[in-house]
Each structure stands twice: as structure tokens, then as C-alpha cells.
Amino acid sequence: MVDFGEFEKKTKIVFNDKKLLTQAFVHRSYINENPNLGLSHNERLEFLGDAVLELVVTDYLYKKYGTQTEGELTSYRAALVNAVIIGEIAAGLMMNDYLLLSRGEAKDNGKARQYILANTYEAFVGAVYLDQGYAVAEKFIAETLFPRVEKIVSQKLWRDAKSLVQEKAQEYVNVTPSYKVLSEAGPDHDKHFTVGIYFGNNVIAEGKGKSKQEAEQKAAQEALKVKKWED
């Protein structure tokens, strides 16, 4: 079984129930190959952790941004707890080193791993809540996630770039942007796309991402910069 001693030192959270800590890192695929593990996968913990995470983040944003509307706060929250950011934080905490995965899943380091890491972060929050209580879970989230808030709000990363660039393009140049995949590379499990955003026949900007949707968002963000439509 995995030794979580170093991880507990890194997070400064020492579990009373070590099985609960281990369970937070057990992916469903691992159970399929190791049915006698004696533990379930982490999806129930993830369900609980997601709820704790949402409450902690909502409470923080409500108190920090006293003049923003419900809609704006919802957008801030969605931008903060998306799988990309949560996955990055989980990777920074070295959670990847402790994942219990099937042999097949262990070989895949593409976008699927990012989602597994994000789900593991939420499962860990759920485990912390059960083992240590709300205050410790809140402190962990505050230390690992809240430093991202300022950048999201100041750079307006909470806005949907595709919707915004469409609104601006229709207002200023009377066109509806279109998107085209310019290139794609990599194996099926780890594709990288380059997408162009077009106003009519003119390519305005390009964006890269691990999915077409991500690349389109990046292209839209670049187009906003090129056109100086960022507000």
C-alpha cells in the first residue's frame, strides 16, 4: 500500500483514519484490477468533497466581493473550481504520485489524467472533512485554491471568451466569428489542437489546447487582445 507520510507532511494534515486517506486516491479502474483491496473507489468521497468545496468557495467569494451580483459570483466560482485549475493544484501537491490506477490508466498522462487529478482533489477534501472537520477542510482549500482568485477576477478569466468576442464582433464589425482547426498532433489520448478564429475569410488569432473547445477559447482570448476588446 502507498505510504502517505510525505504527502501528510506537505499538506500538514495527518489523518486519524489512514484508510480514509488512501481511499481518496483510489480510482475506479484500480478496484477492477484489485477487487480484494478492502476499500472502495473515491467517487463517494468526491461527491462529498465537491459539496464542501462549493460551500467554502461560495462563502469566500460572497464575503470578499460584497458588491458583485449573484451571476458574477457564480461565474467567478465556476472559473475557480473548473477541472483545469483544480487539476493543476492537485498536480502541484504531487497527488499524481499517490494515485491508485489500473495499469491502463497509469499509462495515460493526457487530458483524462487532469480530470482524475481534479476528482482526487475533491475526494481528498471530502476525506479531510470526514477525518478532521470543516475548519481543516476550509483551511486546506483556502491555502491551495484561493491564491488563484485575484488573477481570475483581475484578468477577467471568469468570462466566456467565445461569447464575448462574438458579442464584440457583431457590435463593431458586423460579423459572426467562426473557428477552424488548423492542425492537430499527438496520439488519441493526448491530442493537441491549434484552432484559428476567423472574421469572414480573415484569420484574427490562433489558440492551442488539448481539446478543440479549449483551443477555441484560447483563440477567442487572443482575438480579444488583438482587437483590444478586453474592456
Task: Express each pLDDT in 146-171 by its tens digit.
Answer: 998 888 787 666 667 888 888 889 99
Half-sphere exposure at residue 48, Cβ-oriented, CA atoms within 13 angstroms: 18
User: Whole-angstrom Cα distance, residue 3 to residue 50?
Assistant: 25
As a whole number of angstroms, the distance between CA 122 and CA 114 comes to 13
Domains in the chain and their CATH numbers? 5-154 (1.10.1520.10), 161-226 (3.30.160.20)
Catalytic, 50? Answer yes
- Please report the pLDDT score of residue 110 as a whole number: 66
Measure Cα distances from 6 to 10, 25, 93, 98, 133 in Å. 6, 15, 11, 10, 21
Count of beta carbons in the 10 Å neighbourhood of residue 55 = 14
Q: Pick the catalytic residue from 8, 50, 72, 108.
A: 50
pLDDT lower than 70: segments of the chain: 1, 108-111, 155-159, 189, 231
The reported pLDDT for the residue numbered 209 is 83
Backbone dihedral angles phi then psi of residue 19, each to the nearest 5 degrees: -65, -35
Q: Which listed residue (33, 72, 88, 122) is catalytic?
A: 122
With contact defined as beta carbons under 8 Å apart, do 75 and 159 qualify?
yes
**Alpha carbon distance 69, 92 (integer Å):** 32
- DSSP 8-state class, residue 26: B
Burial class of residue 28 in the structure, from the number of CB atoms within 10 Å of its CB (0-12 exposed, 13-18 middle, 19+ buried): middle
3-class DSSP state for residue 224? helix
Residue in this structure with the C-alpha cell 492537485, named with its chain if needed:
90
Report the alpha-carbon distance of residue 45 to residue 54 in Å, rounded. Answer: 14
**Is 8 an annotated catalytic residue?**
no
The predicted model scores a pTM of 0.73
Query: What is the model's pLDDT at position 81?
Result: 87
Residue 169: the pLDDT is 92
